[in-house]
Structure 1
Amino acid sequence: MRPPRGAQARRAGAGRPKRPPPDDEPLKRPRRPLGLGPKLPLARDPGPLFPDDEPPMPDLPP
């Protein structure tokens, strides 16, 4: 007797279980070829947090 096909198989949950992805591949992330760079342009470096003419805190006296 042949195994059921179509809606019967889906309803019964029959069939081979889905093959798990290999361990070296992350889940649900397409592999991108190397050398293309990031998808989004990187944000430009904002520079130093405090400009040179404005120190973060005045020096405390000893």
Structure 2
Amino acid sequence: MLPWIAFIVGIHFIGLVGIFDDSALYVLAALLTVVAGGKSIWNFILDLYTNVKLYNKVRIPFL
């Protein structure tokens, strides 16, 4: 699941609390947004790591 989809779905659960009178939707919203944020941060770290590995393998002679 893409992180931004989980974030948007999680935010929409907050609006459903008043409709369904179920405060557990706050917990579900928090879980989805935390997972989305963690996934985004993890993807960013992996992108940095792979870009550094590629940079170290490909050396430009004049730099």
| TM-score normalised by L of structure 1 | 0.24
Looking at CA atoms only, which structure, 1 or 2, has the larger radius of gyration?
1
| TM-score normalised by L of structure 2 | 0.24
Q: Which structure shows the higher helix fraction?
A: 2
